[in-house]
Amino acid sequence: MPYTGLSDRLIAIHNEIRSIYPKLGRLSVALYDPVSDTMYTFLNSSDPSPALTNYQVPLDEVPSLKELIKTRQTRIIDDMSVMAGSNKKHTQKLLQAGFQSSLTIPMYSAEHFQGFLFFNSLDKNFFTQVIRSHLSVYAQLISAIIEGEMSRIRTLQGAMKTAREFSRYRDEETGSHLTRMAHYARFIAIELADHFRFDDRYIEYVLQFAPLHDIGKIAIPDNILLKKARLDDQEKVIMRTHVEKGVAMIDTIVRELGLQGIEHTTMLRNIVAYHHECYDGSGYPNGIASHYIPVEASIVTAADVFDALTSSRPYKEAWSFEDAEAYMVEQKGKIFHPLCVEALQRRIADMQSIRNRFEDEPF
């Protein structure tokens, strides 16, 4: 049976609910990122047209949702017009779309908070006890579907992590580095969403897949991978094979673990295969340039290099954010996609916050 994407499944569930309750106009999922303590849109089915996409908000700015996480209670707003004075973008967007009432349900995976499921109606006082009981069944189904997808991704990530450990992988890519660069990549993707028409799921999978970019280094001999001095020409040739080895590893693990159903597996392959390509065509392994490089690979390249520059290593001191940003600008249109550099510059403050939270341990 062909794999059906998360968005299609959510729309199908929404259509089924609307066949019973025509005034149930919106069904949306927001996920929680504990690293940045942020809620962000992930899935949406809405009529009128999508009211809220590519949106994130710090959880601290929505105390009513924080309270739901603690109490594990649902929230009903029978008349959303009482919120007309709110300055929150998400509230204003929903009101402008004509939604009159809402039901919010927190989602958990085991004991871990996963995100929120939002139902909205075009009528006031829509969510009666009978309707809430009916929708709770659908809420459990949607939560299970999302957890199943995220579980497959965690299985893939766990397989990669295990491979690192068993291979004694000791490159400079520490856990903190991978956490930081993945969130930097997500910031860049958010900034580019309108230009490239990224949906919420694309941005989420950039975050999930970015840490796997250099997985092929597992297969590089330690005497080359860990060498402190400059690599000679023959060693460079061997080092560069980590790209094709990484693609082969991803393909093997996806096939052997039956993970073909993960959304955006092409994105994952692109990140691994093309993150060493340069915008001017001087990169490797294919020497492709500009728009021929998949944009997700260009995003990861910018995020990875920026964090590498601002991190200390046994062979170098950490650069300041200012010096690293200047280097990225200098190499704009050469190593880096110009739009990725500009997006990075717009999110420097957020990146500094992530850096402050996830510092490397001293060498």
Per-residue model confidence (pLDDT) at position 363: 44
Residue 77: strand, helix, or coil: strand
Tokens of 181: 């660069």
Q: Is residue 363 part of a domain?
A: no
What are the pLDDT digits (tens) for 160-178? Answer: 767 656 544 445 556 788 8
Quote helix, strand, coil % in the chain, to nearest 5: 55, 15, 30
Q: Which residue, 260, 274, 281, 265, is CA-closest to 302? A: 274
**Which residue, 119, 148, 177, sits at the end of a domain?**
148
Per-residue model confidence (pLDDT) at position 230: 85
Say if pTM beats, i.e. exceeds, 0.75. Answer: yes
Domain residue limits at 63:
6-148
Per-residue model confidence (pLDDT) at position 218: 84
DSSP code for 316 = B
- State whether 339 and 261 are in the same domain: yes
Q: Is residue 335 part of a domain?
A: yes
The residues, any chain, with a CB within 8 Å of residue 35's CB and separated by 6 or more, are: 179, 183, 354, 357, 358
- State whether 173 and 245 are in the same domain: yes
Per-residue model confidence (pLDDT) at position 111: 75
- State whether 137 and 198 are in the same domain: no
**Which residue, 116, 148, 180, sits at the end of a domain?**
148
- State whether 178 and 226 are in the same domain: yes
Distance CA 128, CA 285 (A): 60
The low-confidence residues of the chain, meaning pLDDT below 70, are 1-4, 50-51, 161, 163-174, 261, 263, 314-315, 361-363
- State whether 131 and 51 are in the same domain: yes
Residue 7: strand, helix, or coil: helix
Phi-psi region of 318 (alpha: psi -120 to 50; beta: other; left: phi over 0): beta
Distance CA 147, CA 132 (A): 22
CATH number at residue 60: 3.30.450.40
Q: What is the DSSP string of 176-190?
A: HHHHHHHHHHHHHHH
Q: Is residue 158 part of a domain?
A: no
Residue 120: strand, helix, or coil: strand
Share of the chain above pLDDT 70, in %: 92
Beta carbons of 187 and 351 less than 8 angstroms apart: yes
- State whether 71 and 138 are in the same domain: yes
Distance CA 98, CA 82 (A): 13
Which residue is associated with the tokens 């459990």? Answer: 140
- State whether 348 and 300 are in the same domain: yes
Number of domain units in the chain: 2
Per-residue model confidence (pLDDT) at position 9: 87
DSSP code for 218 = G
Per-residue model confidence (pLDDT) at position 153: 80
User: 121 to each of 22, 26, 45, 52, 141, how far by Cα in Å?
Assistant: 9, 7, 12, 15, 20
Distance CA 47, CA 6 (A): 18
Bridge partners of 40, per DSSP, are 31, 56
**Which residue, 94, 119, 148, sits at the end of a domain?**
148
Which residue is associated with the tokens 């929150």? Answer: 88
Per-residue model confidence (pLDDT) at position 3: 45
- State whether 222 and 348 are in the same domain: yes
Beta carbons of 271 and 300 less than 8 angstroms apart: yes
Q: Is residue 162 part of a domain?
A: no
Tell me, what amino acid is at 298? S
CB-facing half-sphere around the CA of 5: CA atoms within 13 A: 11
Q: Is residue 153 part of a domain?
A: no
Q: Kindly report whether the peptide bond that precedes residue 58 is cis, defined as omega within 30 degrees of 0.
A: no
CATH number at residue 184: 1.10.3210.10
CB count in 10 Å sphere of residue 85: 7
- State whether 206 and 324 are in the same domain: yes
Which residue is associated with the tokens 């009211």? Answer: 51
Distance CA 190, CA 299 (A): 11
DSSP code for 58 = E
Q: Is residue 250 part of a domain?
A: yes
Q: Is residue 123 part of a domain?
A: yes
- State whether 277 and 337 are in the same domain: yes
CB count in 10 Å sphere of residue 93: 15
Checking 344-350 for CB contacts under 8 A at 24+ apart, the result is: 344/184, 344/187, 344/188, 344/191, 344/302, 344/303, 344/306, 346/191, 347/184, 347/187, 347/188, 347/190, 347/191, 348/321, 350/36, 350/187
Tokens of 51: 């009211």
Beta carbons of 298 and 196 less than 8 angstroms apart: no
What are the pLDDT digits (tens) for 346-361? Answer: 999 999 999 999 887 5
Per-residue model confidence (pLDDT) at position 226: 80
- State whether 58 and 188 are in the same domain: no
- Please report the sign of the dihedral spanned by the C-alpha atoms of residue 129, residue 133, residue 138, residue 142: positive
- State whether 212 and 338 are in the same domain: yes
Per-residue model confidence (pLDDT) at position 256: 77
Burial of 321 (0-12, 13-18, 19+ CB in 10 A): middle
Q: Is residue 156 part of a domain?
A: no
